[in-house]
Amino acid sequence: MIVPYVDQKQEEWDIHLPLLTAAYRSCEHDGTGYSPNALMLGRETHTPLSLFLGGSRDAGGEEVPNFGEFAHELNETMCTVYDIVRENLGKRGNRQKRDYDVKIAHNNYNVGDLVYYRNDAKYKGLSPKLNPNKWFGPCVVTKKFSDLLFEIKPNAKAKVKVLHHDRLKPYLSDVIPDEIRRLQERVKTLAQDNKANQPTPVQSDGSQVARRSTRQSRPPERLIT
């Protein structure tokens, strides 16, 4: 939430922190189904928006319970809320695991694909979490070691990087820089040549396995009627 309000030098991030935390604590969370204010205080707090729209709870005209009744009602309310939150968090955890597994299966990159990579480099005096420009790309996948580990090249002159798939995400834009497009074509051509020049498999007795030709056989013209 705070990243859009941070300057390049990250020197004024604390100025907006009180307003951001107030907004965060008054919003309902997907995981729990309640706002942090409701879970901590047992009620929603008054905000300028709720006062303006008239959606805040107002006990005007109602009899205010004594301290004992208030504590008893608050205890029952919090116990009920915590049971609901515990159930919601369990469902949320299962949903997150399912989404993570789907993401792993979906983001199975191949040689020549275009991706972004997340730059986790640390700089003195700067926090990586507050960096708004931590995704760089497009880059070209140059080698696939496994379904989880890939080699990428940011540009023709840059060194290759070996990264885990968690630090990659697909580049889906149709706008591709000319330099990256040429690099992508060279990588794909090289991958096809390497695949065509693969050595012939060898059997256990040392003899080579004959490679089946991909040519289509046709009968002689004299036999065609």
- Reported residue count of the chain is 225
In a domain, 132, yes or no: yes
pLDDT higher than 50, residue 34: yes
Q: Last residue of some domain: 106, 132, 161?
A: 106
Does residue 6 sit within a domain? no
What total number of domains does the chain contain?
2
CA distances from 45 to 27, 91, 126, 205, 206 (A): 10, 27, 34, 80, 79
Looking at the structure, tell me whether residues 141 and 187 fall in a common domain.
Answer: yes
Residue 190 is inside which H or E element, if any?
A: helix 178-196
Asked if the model's pLDDT at residue 122 lies above 50, the reply is yes
Residues 155-187 as b/e (b if ≥16 CB within 10 A, e otherwise) read: eeeeeeeebebebbbebeeeeeeeebeebbeeb
The parent domain of residue 22 ranges over 16-106
Note the pLDDT tens digit of each residue in 158-197.
Answer: 899 999 988 999 999 999 999 999 999 999 998 888 877 7
